[in-house]
Amino acid sequence: MSKMDKGAKIFVAGHRGMVGSAIWRQLVKEGYTNLVGKSSEELDLRNQDDVRGFFNTEKPDVVIDAAARVGGILANSTYPYQFLMENLQIQNNLIQSSLDNDVKKFVFLGSSCIYPRLAAQPLKEESLLTGSLEPTNDAYALAKIAGIKACESIRKQFGKDYVSLMPTNLYGTHDNFDLKTSHVLPAMIRKFHDAKMNDNSPVTLWGSGTPLREFLFVDDMATSVIFALDNVLPEHLYNVGTGHDITIKDLAETIQKIVGHRGEINWDSSKPDGTPRKLMDVSKMNELGWKHQVELEEGIQRTYEWFLKNQDNFKEVKI
């Protein structure tokens, strides 16, 4: 186990997104001094020649891949080709150029959607490729699985320190609050806030409220990346989460309380619930020494405070 040199040149791909920006802030907080980030306008990660030229010029020591095309069920279902191909292009270009330029450490970030839709709960790393994927986001999941296998293959064949971290549902500051494309937690914050501003009008939410979901504050995800930098992890794939879940109904009531909405909550049972449960087994990371620090209520409070300060210009994802 050896700490990463604080002066190592670290390229954070996707440094302006919710996850990438949290990783950047954590790196600065930990005293890392040689960080590199490029916006999508400055560097198109889908373009192999551009990425190759960037690596040949910058020569990073470490690469953190927090760049991806992401979206909810609607976007994934409508544009499966783009979700498959663009994510493959981004990660393949980063992984290949890292290998070509002798990058010392590569941290690949994925998603819990890589696991089979009917895998046993809580989801273990060993469940990868043991069953069929969830059809609504299988294109994105397949791209991420390809990245995991590429990093695993490089570890085996070239002995390089390439590791994949799979987070549970992430939320936090710099999240996407666009109701057309956001995930459940930020969407609820937006809905309850808008209803509060509209004389505490009723809020309608999808489904029955009974499904269980796990949520991790994005700053905790960032600490897991630092942990992967500061240690040589013995395996290639690790789940990152809290190991605890909550019903959607309890989540809604928690967010309602924090936002201060005093109206009714109506559940539209004609809308789908989705998977009944999706919980990560995070025992491998916990046993190595990493554990989440921010509990759900504190994380929601911090996210809502950020939302209030940034609601005129918060991130909206274009499909």
Q: Is 32 left (phi over 0), alpha (psi -120 to 50) or beta?
A: beta
Residue 220 maps to a domain: yes
Q: What are phi and psi of 78, to 5 degrees?
A: -80, -35
44-98 confidence digits (pLDDT tens): 999 999 999 999 999 999 999 999 988 777 778 888 999 999 999 999 999 999 9
The first and second tokens of residue 3, run together, are 């700490």
Within 8 A by CB and 6+ apart from 24, the residues are 12, 15, 35, 37
Q: What is the pLDDT of residue 39?
A: 94
115-152 confidence digits (pLDDT tens): 998 999 999 999 999 999 988 889 999 999 999 999 99
DSSP structural state of residue 167: E
Q: Can you give the CATH number for the domain in which 108 is found?
A: 3.40.50.720
Q: Any binding-site annotation on 276? A: no
Residue 197 maps to a domain: no
Q: What is the mean pLDDT of the chain?
A: 94
β-pairing, 35-36 with 10-13? parallel
Q: Any binding-site annotation on 268? A: no
Residue 124 maps to a domain: yes
Residue 272 maps to a domain: no
Q: What separation in angstroms does the CA of 117 have from each of 79, 113, 125, 278?
A: 20, 8, 14, 9
Sorting pLDDT into bands at 50, 70 and 90, what band is 248? very high
Residue 64 maps to a domain: yes
Q: What is the pLDDT of residue 84?
A: 97
Residue 287 maps to a domain: yes
Percent of the chain residues past pLDDT 70, beyond the cut: 97
Q: What is the dihedral of CA 219, 224, 230, 232, to 10 degrees?
A: -170
* Annotation says 140 is catalytic: yes
Under 8 Å between Cβ of 292 and 241 = yes
Residue 81 maps to a domain: yes
Sorting pLDDT into bands at 50, 70 and 90, what band is 318? very low
Burial class of residue 13 (count of CB atoms within 10 Å of its CB; 0-12, 13-18, 19+): buried
Closest CA to 155 of 195, 105, 189: 105
The domain of 136 spans: 10-176+214-245+279-296
Q: What is the pLDDT of residue 311?
A: 83
Q: Any binding-site annotation on 16? A: yes
Q: Determine what percent of the chain falls in helix, strand and coil, rounding each to the nearest 5.
A: 45, 15, 40
Residue 260 maps to a domain: no
| Catalytically annotated residue among 140, 171, 238, 304 | 140
Q: Any binding-site annotation on 20? A: yes
Q: What is the pLDDT of residue 181?
A: 75
The pTM (predicted TM-score) of the whole model is: 0.93
Task: Please count the structural domains in the chain.
Answer: 1
- Checking if the pLDDT of 315 tops 80, the result is no
